[in-house]
Amino acid sequence: MCGIVGYIGHRDASSVVLEGLKKLEYRGYDSAGLALYDGEILKVTKTKGKVSALENKLQNSGNTDGSIGIGHTRWATHGVPNDENSHPHYSNSGELVIIHNGIIENYDSIRKELTKRGYQFKSDTDTEVLVNLIEEIQNKTNLKLGESVQLALKEVVGAYAIAVFDVKKPNEIVVAKLGSPLAIGIGTNEYFIGSDASPFLEYTNKAIYLEDGQVASIRLNKSIKIWEIDNNRPIPVLVQELKMSLEATEKGGYEHFMLKEIYEQPNAIKDTYRGRLLINEKLIKMAGVEENLERFTNADRIIIVACGTSWHAGLVAEYIIEDLTRIPVEVEYASEFRYRNPIITSKDVIIAISQSGETADTLAAIKLAKQNGAFVFGVCNVVGSTIARETNAGAYTHAGPEIGVASTKAFTTQITVLTLIALKLGLAKKTIDNNTFLRLISELNEIPEKLIKTLNCNNTALDIAKVYKNSTNCLFLGRGYNFPVALEGALKLKEISYIHAEGYPAAEMKHGPIALIDENMPIVVVAINKGHYEKTVSNIQEIKARKGKVIAIVTEGDITVKELADHVIEIPETLETLSPLLTTIPLQLFSYHTAVLLNKNVDQPRNLAKSVTVE
Ligand code: M6R
C-alpha cells in the first residue's frame, strides 16, 4: 500500500526522504517519487518502479537540494502505474505539492467541476484533483494552507493520509488523516512524517499518531497544531515515546526478511506468551480478557473477522476455541462480513485479527460490529495501529515488525494469542478441566524449543523446492486443526512464487480436486499422528494410486507415511491443538525456497501490499 514520508528541518531532505521511502518498501508499491524545495525551485522527481530507480533518476537530475521534502511509494488505485501518475502531484500554479495514501471516491465529480473552472490535469489520479481543490479554495478564500486543506477535505469522500506544502510558505507541512495511517516524528528543530515510524526511527523516538478526522500544521520552530476537520476543535498534542528499535526492522544477516521472520518464530511465540503464560503459577494472565471476562463467557457466539493469513489464523482459532470453550465460533472474511448485512447482537463477541492493524476491510467490519452493539476484541501486531485503537479491548501479538509481505510470524503468534484466550475462557467456563489446562499450557511452553527443532528441516525444504520449482500447480491438504494450515501453505506458495496452489480439507479431495492429480502434481499433505491419521493415510494412498507426488509433513518416528510418500518432513511430537504452530513451518520454508529458486521478489511480491488500506 502507498507509503508517505516527509521532512522539514536542517538536514538534507532528499536523503532523509529517500532513506525513509526505503524503510516503507515493505508496504508494497509500483512507483515512487519525491518533491524538494530549496527556497527557489520546486523539484519533483518520480518514476514507475523501485525506490532505487528513483534514487538513480534523482542523482542524474541533480535535483537533490532542499530542506523540505515529501516522498511517496505508490500502489496504483486510480490510473496505471507510470511516471505521470506517481506522486507527488502539484497544483496548476505549481505552488502546492501533495502526497496521498488512500482513495478519494468522489474525485471524478470534483475533477469535472474543476475542469469547468479551467483546471487542467496531467495524471489520472484522484490525488492531483485533491491538490487542485485545495488550491482553488486557497485562491477563493485567502485562508492559510491548513484551513484550505481542511475545507477541501470536507468536500471529499474517501480515505486518506496526506502531506502538503506550499512553496510560498516553505516552513510548513500540513498533514491530515482519515482511514490511512500517519505518524509525525519530532526531532530538535526538525519534523518527520511517515506512514509509520520506521522512516524516522533513526532520528527520533518521539512521535505523534494522528487520529482519523484530524489535520495538523507542522511548522519549523513552532509547536505542532492539531485540530478536527469537521468542527475546528483543537486537539491536545500527545507525544509518545517509541520503544521499537531500528535494528529490529532490518534483515540481521538473512537474505530476506521473510526468512528472518520464519526463523524468529520461536522467540516471537515466546515474546507473545511472556508475562501471560505463567507456567510456575499455572495460570494465564491477559488483562484485556480478564477485564471483559463476562462479555466473553456469556457470549452467544464469537465471530472472528480477518483477511488473508489472519483469516487462516482465525480458522485455526475456531477449532481451538470451540473445542476448549464450547462457545460457537464463526470465521468471516472481513470483506464479506462488512457488506452482507450480517446478524450481529450485543451478545456477540467479535475478534478482529490483523497483523498490521490497518486492513481497511477488517476495520470496516469492526465499525459495523460496534454500531450493532457487539463487543470487539482486537488481536494486532502493530502497536498503536488503527484497529488496536478502534477495538474495545485487545491483545498484541508481540511478533515484532513483520516486513516481508508474506505473513509468517504474524500467523503463529496470532494462533498463540488465540490459544491463550481459549485456554483462559475454557478454564473460566469449566469447559476444560484443570489437567487439560495444565497439559496444554505446559506443551505451549515447549513449543519454542520444538519450533527450533522443526526449523532444522530447512535443507530438506530446499531440496524439495528444487524438485518442484517448475510445477504449475500444487495442492495442500490437511484435516481438522491442520486444514487451515493447508490453506495457509497454499497462500504462501502462490503469493511469493506465483505457482497456482489450492488448500483443501484432505477428505474433500475426492469431491473434485482428485481429478487434477497426475504425475506432475505435487501435493503437500499434513499427516501428523493425531486426529484422523489413518484417514489421511488413505488419502495419501489415493494420491499415489493416481501417480501424484506426495510431500508429507509427519510426526517424527512415523513409519507408515514414510513408506508411501515421495518426500517427508518430520516435526516433533506435539498435541493436536498446538500442532499448527509446527506444521506450518515446513510449508513456509518450502514456499520461500521455491520463490528464491525462481528468482522472485520474495519480500515484495508483485501486486501485493503489506497492509491493504483500501477496500
Ligand atoms: O495486516 P493484516 O493481518 O490485516 O493483513 C491481512 C492480509 O492482507 C495478509 O495476511 C495477506 O494475506 C498476506 N500477504 C499473507 O501473507
Q: pLDDT per residue over 45-88, tens digit each?
A: 999 988 999 999 999 988 888 999 999 998 776 777 789 999 99
Report whether 327 contacts 321 (CB < 8 A): yes
| 443 domain residue, yes or no | no
Q: Are residues 273 and 351 in the same domain?
A: yes
Q: Are residues 272 and 125 in the same domain?
A: no
Alpha helices in 248-292 (DSSP H): 257-263, 265-273, 287-290
Instruction: Please list, in sequence order, all residues whose beta carbon lies within 8 angstroms of the beta carbon of residue 267, skipping any fewer than 6 positions away.
Output: 448
Residue 604 amino acid letter: Q
- In this structure, the residue with its CA closest to atom 4 of ligand 1 is 354
Q: Which of 479, 453, 385 is nearest to 197 (CA)?
A: 385
Give the residue numbers spanning the domain of 413.
252-432
Q: Are residues 264 and 402 in the same domain?
A: yes
The model's confidence at residue 24, banded by pLDDT at 50, 70 and 90, is confident
Q: Are residues 409 and 284 in the same domain?
A: yes
Instruction: Please list, in sequence order, all residues whose beta carbon lies within 8 angstroms of the beta carbon of residue 380, skipping any fewer than 6 positions away.
Output: 353, 354, 355, 356, 357, 387, 388, 394, 396, 397
Any idea which residue has 538473512 for its cell? 254
| 32 domain residue, yes or no | yes
Q: Is the pLDDT of residue 26 over 60?
A: yes
Q: Is the pLDDT of residue 606 over 60?
A: yes
Q: Are residues 322 and 206 in the same domain?
A: no
177 C-alpha to ligand 1 centroid (Å) = 22
What pLDDT, on the 0 to 100 scale, is given for residue 248? 58
**Beta carbon of 591 within 6 Å of any ligand 1 atom:** no
**Beta carbon of 355 within 6 Å of any ligand 1 atom:** yes
**Beta carbon of 308 within 6 Å of any ligand 1 atom:** yes
pLDDT in tens, 34-50: 999 998 999 999 999 88
| 164 domain residue, yes or no | yes
Omega before 170 cis (within 30°)?
A: no
The DSSP-derived string for 66-94 is -SEEEEEEE--SSS-SSTTTSSPEE-TTS
Q: Which of 101, 90, 2, 93 is nearest to 43 (CA)?
A: 90
Q: Is 57 a catalytic residue?
A: no
Q: Which of 506, 443, 483 is nearest to 587 (CA)?
A: 483
412 C-alpha to ligand 1 centroid (Å) = 13
The model's confidence at residue 28, banded by pLDDT at 50, 70 and 90, is low
Instruction: Please list, in sequence order, all residues whose beta carbon lies within 8 angstroms of the beta carbon of residue 108, skipping any fewer than 6 positions away.
Output: none
Q: Are residues 473 and 490 in the same domain?
A: yes
Q: Are residues 235 and 280 in the same domain?
A: no
Any idea which residue has 508411501 for its cell? 564
Number of domains into which the chain is organized? 3
Q: Is 429 a catalytic residue?
A: no
Report whether 366 contacts 352 (CB < 8 A): yes
Residue 292 burial by CB count (10 A; 0-12/13-18/19+): exposed, middle or buried? Answer: middle
Last residue of a domain, one of 385, 417, 432: 432
The DSSP-derived string for 298-333 is T-SEEEEEE-HHHHHHHHHHHHHHHHHH---EEEEE
Q: Are residues 527 and 596 in the same domain?
A: yes
pTM: 0.72
Last residue of a domain, one of 208, 243, 278: 243
What pLDDT, on the 0 to 100 scale, is given for residue 79? 73
Residue to substitute in 196, 305, 309, 588 for testing ligand 1 pocket (most ligand atoms within 8 angstroms of CB): 309
CA distances from 187 to 8, 13, 52, 162, 166 (A): 10, 14, 27, 20, 22
Which CATH number do you get for residue 345?
3.40.50.10490
Q: Are residues 181 and 77 in the same domain?
A: yes
Dist. CA 135–CA 222, nearest whole Å:
24
Q: Are residues 268 and 174 in the same domain?
A: no
Alpha helices in 372-433 (DSSP H): 386-390, 409-429
pLDDT in tens, 446-472: 999 999 999 999 999 999 999 999 999
Q: Which of 425, 446, 441 is nearest to 324 (CA)?
A: 425
User: Which is the closest atom of ligand 1 to the Cα of 307?
Assistant: 6
| 318 domain residue, yes or no | yes
Q: Are residues 227 and 356 in the same domain?
A: no
| 439 domain residue, yes or no | no
Q: Which of 105, 126, 32, 18 is nearest to 75 (CA)?
A: 32
Q: Is the pLDDT of residue 513 over 80?
A: yes
Q: What is the mean pLDDT of residues 122-136?
A: 96
* 178 phi, psi to nearest 5 deg: -155, 105
Handedness of CA 66, 72, 73, 76 (dihedral sign): negative
Which CATH number do you get for residue 47?
3.60.20.10
Q: Are residues 84 and 209 in the same domain?
A: yes
| 551 domain residue, yes or no | yes
**Beta carbon of 55 within 6 Å of any ligand 1 atom:** no
Among 2, 307, 380, 457, the one annotated catalytic: 2
SS3 275: coil
Q: Which of 200, 76, 221, 225 is nearest to 149 (CA)?
A: 225
Q: Is the pLDDT of residue 288 over 70?
A: yes
